[in-house]
Chains A and B, each alone.
Chain A
Amino acid sequence: MELLRIENLKKIIKKRTIVDSLNMTVNSGEIVGFLGPNGAGKTTTIKMILGLFKISDGKISICGRDVETDFENAMKNVGGIVENPDLYKRMTGRQNLQYFASMHDNISKKHINDVSNLVKMSDRIDDKVKTYSLGMRQRVGLAQALLHQPRLLVLDEPTNGLDPIGIKEMRDLLKYLAKEAGTGVLVSSHLLSEMELMCDRIYVIDEGKLIGEKKIGATESDNHLEEIFKYSFVTSNNEVVHKLFKEMKTNCEITNTETTLVMKRGLIPSIIKQIMDKEIDIYAINQSQRSLEDEFISMTTGTKGQIK
């Protein structure tokens, strides 16, 4: 089911086109990445989705409700964080959540507890927000977005300020919501690696224009034998392995510790067999996903320096 639909979206600020002819959709149960270098128009688009910016041209609808003409009903179905999660510093986390909750219909106290549990903030929820770290505010920020159990989540760089464990927890949480509750999620980021780990689909935007849409193929269990990856082998005799690869006329390299080659996934088992036949021990094989990043860099022209 289609939760978010953006058609020909345009934003002009002081005669500068910030967002141009953007078309996007987010479906139920889907995590969609919104990728682009800094200044590409990600936050501007998200602000228009959440009604913080007026739309210059085009149309945004959330669950079929137009954001401009039916604002209140559209907003009932969406939760979000834009930029930093700025909360009321003098109030506690719980008071913040209660205040926002009371602007929605029927959110019980118990539900506020549940949500703070969900974002792992229940220990500190009764402390003043001014004592929170950025990561903790990010968690409460996420909690306020989840309060009213929205069908669509729009998160602007939600992993900012989170530690690696926090990032993983958030990833797991979003995946859980998408899978179990059928929530549609739109996550913006300029970090590709992050996107790859959780998104089903990625929109790539640069200079206000959509320049690509990429399906992240496999979830790990799927068998995409035809896809090409880069593999690195750590073996007891890299020289011999490198020679073997050269004989197979593949694109290969040798370093001090490992030998790498680019190869279809389906051919890897036979390669391993050949190495084994030569009585060489294999200590490790790594499959790297550099390929998507390469693709991304090649798509976003002129701003390569900013991509990590």
Chain B
Amino acid sequence: MKNIKEYLNQIKLETKKILGSKLLLIFIALLLIMSIAAPILSTVELFKPRYYYGGYGEGELVVNDIEIDEESIFYWEIYQLNDTKTWLQDQATSSTDDLALEFVDIMLNDYLALSKDIESHQDYRANVVWSRRQYYATIFIIEHIDVPVEDMQEILEKSNSYYRDMASLKKEYYELSDEDRQEKLKEAKEALELSDKIILYGDHQAYFDYMLNEAEANLKRNEEEIERLEQSIIEDPSNEEIFNEQIESIKRQMETHDIITMPILQYRIDNDIIPGMDDWRDTALRHKESALYDVHYNSEIKTQEEFEKEQHLKWEYETYAKYKKAMEKRVEDATNRLQVAERSLENGKPDMEFVPQGTRKKVTNFLWYSLIIAVFATIFAGGLMAREFQSGTIRLLFIRPKSRTKIALSKLFSLILISVVLYALCVLLNLITNGFMFGFSDLGYPNYTISAGIRGVSFFAFIMPKLLACFVVVIFGASIAYFLSIVTRNTALSVSIPLVCFAGSLIAMGIIGYSDKFKWIIYTPLPYVNMPQILTSSYYSPHGIEPIIPYGIGLLLGISVISVIVSTIILRKRDITN
């Protein structure tokens, strides 16, 4: 009892002394400021990740006095159409040139108009833009049906924007009856009108109608393709096997219409969920959709015989067992994701994953900050005893009526205590700042965990163990630096060795973590020093290592305790020669 009190006194004393260091106070101030600044900076345009959609434009483009921004999603369409237009204008010799110019102009003007309205790919209206070219082409062809089919093909070719081979052109337009053609014209015009409604007025119902049309059309295309393939079998029975395989694959794809596409679409219609970043339900639906696809395509596991035949599978997975395991794992993962999405939608309370701009997600991402705290603790732990040795103050310190163990351990505990408080403050400040930036209400939603059934847990119950697990790395860094600080009696070495090893392990894991050649690495501390990463993502999957987190935590703590005990024993026995 008296001993504990003495320890507490000594810790208090050492804490006061450590906090007396100006360098440390500057460090602490910086860390606190950074934890507030991080959420604010994340909203500044400059620091936002730029999404890459097959390239930005090259330089500013001005067409018909309209400036096209480099980041416009229509940049390359407009660039190419404008190019063709200029070329046709220079050409302008035959009548086909004039007509091609007319066709190009229609589409160019359409894109120019759209570019003012739709700015990003995340705008759901961008989905309906790309089919407009088809409708314009249909209208153009039917309205100019008096042009001979050879000329029409030349026109389309020159327009450089819509290509149809002669046979299809004949079959789809020229050989149709007048009535059918008018019907087709009407359909195209209606489709265009629908698309206009969506784009210009943001009409949700129109969008859902459009999606339904697309789904139907898709189904129809598949059916036609199967018909065509069946015809081919009759014409060429020698390739029956290949054709049958293709038919099977299309049929498998068609199954998704009923079990995935339509139910999801219906859910959207019923709940009026249009694609967009602002609605978590859309994100949840997209997750659900992709999970359903993953389950659908991965649950059909090939037999060993089939596997042996597929070279690319053998190259990817090496053995059948590995292949089977990977497929099962994918189905399991997908099923889990599916459950989380479904449960979120049912409850009307989203999992963190569906609110990427939510406070919960931001705070969870902030777990990486523990690594900075670990670096901080390592830097100061490395100096704890070594500085006393190097400056000679150890001779005044160790003649006090306190045991060496008491003095040294108190120093380490004080530093860990300071780190705990600092980390807690950083997390708290970050949480509050994020709350102000992204809303506190998000914190009230549960996160869903899956272990023997799905369960919603509060965000704090979710984040707390992760925070503690991340702090183990801080203790680990400090203990190793403390150990070296006693063994080497040199501050520079005690700080630089752990930091270099830490950086090295991050690099090493980046290289070998993705391979299954080094599976034993999960029994070393290497993967676990980057605790925030392995806690928040299945980073190394599917082929890489699979860290065992509870083992890792135990390992780091075990090494910490052993190095502290060993170094303290060394310190007790050592003659203070300097």
The digit string for A41-76, where 1 denotes a CB below 8 A from any CB of B, is: 000000100111110000000000000000111111
Beyond A86-B391, A87-B396, is A104–B401 a contact (Cβ under 8 Å)?
yes
Instruction: Determine the distance from Cα of A50 to Cα of B400 in the docked complex, in whole angstroms.
Output: 9
**What's the minimum C-beta distance from B182 to chain A, rounded to whole angstroms?**
93
The digit string for B401-422, where 1 denotes a CB below 8 A from any CB of A, is: 1110001000000000000000
**What's the minimum C-beta distance from A193 to chain B, rounded to whole angstroms?**
27
The digit string for B303-333, where 1 denotes a CB below 8 A from any CB of A, is: 0000000000000000000000000000000
| Residues of B with C-beta under 8 A to A85 | 396
Binds B, one of A95-103, A114-122, A265-273, A291-299: A95-103
The digit string for A78-99, where 1 denotes a CB below 8 A from any CB of B, is: 1111111111111100010001
Beyond A80-B399, A103-B13, A103-B402, is A87–B393 a contact (Cβ under 8 Å)?
yes
Contact between chains at B401 and A75 (CB < 8 Å):
yes
Instruction: Determine the distance from Cα of A134 to Cα of B510 in the docked complex, in whole angstroms.
Output: 53
Q: Does B59 contact A (CB under 8 A)?
A: no
Partner of A88, one of B22, B391, B398, B575: B391
| Residue of chain A at shortest CB distance from B17 | A99
Partner of A76, one of B21, B401, B573, B576: B401
| Residues of B with C-beta under 8 A to A90 | 21-22
Contact between chains at A86 and B393 (CB < 8 Å):
yes
Q: Does B10 contact A (CB under 8 A)?
A: yes
Beyond A82-B395, A90-B21, A95-B20, is A13–B403 a contact (Cβ under 8 Å)?
no
Beyond A47-B576, A84-B392, is A91–B402 a contact (Cβ under 8 Å)?
no
The digit string for B11-45, where 1 denotes a CB below 8 A from any CB of A, is: 00100010011100000000000000000000000
Instruction: Determine the distance from Cα of A53 to Cα of B9 in the docked complex, in whole angstroms.
Output: 26
| Residues of A with C-beta under 8 A to B575 | 13, 47, 52-54
Instruction: Determine the distance from Cα of A50 to Cα of B395 in the docked complex, in whole angstroms.
Output: 9
| Residues of A with C-beta under 8 A to B400 | 75, 100, 103-104
| Residues of A with C-beta under 8 A to B576 | 47, 52-53
The digit string for B362-403, where 1 denotes a CB below 8 A from any CB of A, is: 000000000000000000000000000001110110111111
**What's the minimum C-beta distance from A243 to chain B, rounded to whole angstroms?**
60
Which chain A residues in 111-158 approach chain B with CB under 8 Å? 141, 144
Partner of B393, one of A50, A78, A80, A88: A88
Instruction: Determine the distance from Cα of A90 to Cα of B402 in the docked complex, in whole angstroms.
Output: 23
Contact between chains at B396 and A100 (CB < 8 Å):
yes
| Residues of A with C-beta under 8 A to B391 | 86, 88-89
Instruction: Determine the distance from Cα of A104 to Cα of B402 in the docked complex, in whole angstroms.
Output: 9
Chain B interface mostly: loop
Instruction: Determine the distance from Cα of A51 to Cα of B575 in the docked complex, in whole angstroms.
Output: 9
Partner of B395, one of A52, A72, A73: A52
Instruction: Determine the distance from Cα of A144 to Cα of B397 in the docked complex, in whole angstroms.
Output: 11
Contact between chains at A72 and B402 (CB < 8 Å):
yes
Contact between chains at B399 and A75 (CB < 8 Å):
yes
Instruction: Determine the distance from Cα of A82 to Cα of B396 in the docked complex, in whole angstroms.
Output: 8
| Residues of B with C-beta under 8 A to A74 | 401
**What's the minimum C-beta distance from B97 to chain A, rounded to whole angstroms?**
85
| Residues of A with C-beta under 8 A to B402 | 72, 75, 103
Contact between chains at A86 and B395 (CB < 8 Å):
yes
**What's the minimum C-beta distance from B407 to chain A, rounded to whole angstroms?**
8
| Residues of B with C-beta under 8 A to A73 | 401
| Residues of B with C-beta under 8 A to A103 | 10, 13, 400-402, 407
| Residues of B with C-beta under 8 A to A52 | 395, 398-399, 575-576
| Residues of B with C-beta under 8 A to A13 | 575
**What's the minimum C-beta distance from A1 to chain B, rounded to whole angstroms?**
20
Partner of A51, one of B9, B20, B399: B399
**What's the minimum C-beta distance from B366 to chain A, rounded to whole angstroms?**
33
Most buried by B among A50, A79, A99: A99
Instruction: Determine the distance from Cα of A100 to Cα of B398 in the docked complex, in whole angstroms.
Output: 10
| Residue of chain B at shortest CB distance from A52 | B576
Most buried by B among A53, A81, A95, A103: A103
Most buried by B among A52, A76, A79, A85: A52
Instruction: Determine the distance from Cα of A58 to Cα of B402 in the docked complex, in whole angstroms.
Output: 23
Contact between chains at A78 and B573 (CB < 8 Å):
no
| Residues of B with C-beta under 8 A to A102 | 9, 13
Instruction: Determine the distance from Cα of A207 to Cα of B20 in the docked complex, in whole angstroms.
Output: 44
| Residue of chain B at shortest CB distance from A76 | B401
Contact between chains at A82 and B20 (CB < 8 Å):
no
Instruction: Determine the distance from Cα of A13 to Cα of B401 in the docked complex, in whole angstroms.
Output: 25
Instruction: Determine the distance from Cα of A47 to Cα of B574 in the docked complex, in whole angstroms.
Output: 12
Contact between chains at B392 and A51 (CB < 8 Å):
no
| Residue of chain B at shortest CB distance from A13 | B575
| Residue of chain A at shortest CB distance from B399 | A50
**What's the minimum C-beta distance from B286 to chain A, rounded to whole angstroms?**
58
| Residue of chain A at shortest CB distance from B390 | A86
Contact between chains at A86 and B392 (CB < 8 Å):
yes
**What's the minimum C-beta distance from A115 to chain B, rounded to whole angstroms?**
15
Beyond A86-B396, A87-B393, A88-B391, is A99–B573 a contact (Cβ under 8 Å)?
no
8 pairs of residues in contact across A and B, judged by CB atoms under 8 Å: A13-B575, A53-B575, A71-B401, A72-B401, A82-B395, A90-B21, A91-B20, A103-B402
What 7 pairs between A and B have smallest CB-CB spacing?
A: A86-B392, A75-B401, A103-B400, A52-B576, A50-B399, A76-B401, A72-B401
Other A-B pairs, 18, CB within 8 Å; known A54-B573, A103-B10:
A52-B398, A75-B401, A76-B401, A79-B399, A81-B396, A83-B392, A84-B392, A86-B395, A88-B393, A90-B21, A91-B20, A95-B20, A99-B13, A99-B17, A100-B400, A103-B402, A104-B400, A144-B396
